Structure formats: structure tokens, C-alpha cells
Amino acid sequence: MSGQRDLARLLAGLQVTAREGEFVFVSRPESDPGLAALAQASVREDEGVTYVLPRAKADALRLDYGFRAAWLSLGVHSALDAVGLTAAVAAALARHGIACNVLAGFHHDHLLVPTERREDALAVLSALSVQAAAP
């Protein structure tokens, strides 16, 4: 199933949902099957593996983390080779001083934004969609 590539349509149809809870990034020099089982996402890098975990699970395991994030999912099915969606979303958030870490899934893009800016980010992205849909 292929996703949408047209940026104007992607932005006009953008619906953002927020997952419940807070999420944190935890890094390990080697793969950790226990953390992998708890992770909502992971990225393997030269320096090790980064896991994105619910904060409550990280706290229960007494894991070190810094950045606390709200998880927002973009409710459009963008093609993996679509051009401009990540840039448009990141630029809109940046204009409002909101940090944004992007994870691309097969069906949707996901944004991890500072927990305390969750509602601001939702408002910015809603406005972006409304503006794109305007004639």
C-alpha cells in the first residue's frame, strides 16, 4: 500500500493525535533485549542503541534519561519517499520554538516534542493543516 506524496494534500489532511503519557530516550552501547521488549521505537547507531520508552517504565527500571517527550502521530499516510512533510512540520514547530524529534514509520510519521509544549505543538500543527486546506 503506497502513501500520499503530494505535500499540499498531506498538509491539508493532517490530523495529529497524541499518545497518552510521557516518553524518554535511553541509550545503551549494546542491544538490550529487555529494553527492546519495552520500547515503542528503537534506532541502532554506531555508538549503540537508542530506545524510546514510556517514562513510567524507565522510572520503574531506574534508567537515566534527560528529555521528556509527548508523542504525536501525524494522521496522514505519507509515502516514505514523500518530499517536504517533515520539513514543513519541523519548520512550523521551529517558528514557535518547539523542539521536534521525528520517527518515520511505514504508515505514519511520529513527533516527539517536549512534554510541556504538547498542547502548543498540537495547536501549531492544527493551524498548519487549516492553512494548507484554505483555498
pLDDT in tens, the chain (135 residues): 577 777 778 887 788 999 999 999 999 999 999 999 999 999 999 999 999 999 999 999 999 999 999 999 998 777 677 778 889 999 999 999 999 999 988 888 899 999 999 999 999 999 988 888 777
Domain boundaries, the chain: 7-133
CATH code: domain 7-133 is 3.30.2130.10
pTM of the model: 0.88
The angle formed by the CA atoms of residues 58, 15 and 83, to the nearest 5 degrees, is 90
- 118-133 helix and 85-95 helix, angle to the nearest 10 degrees: 120
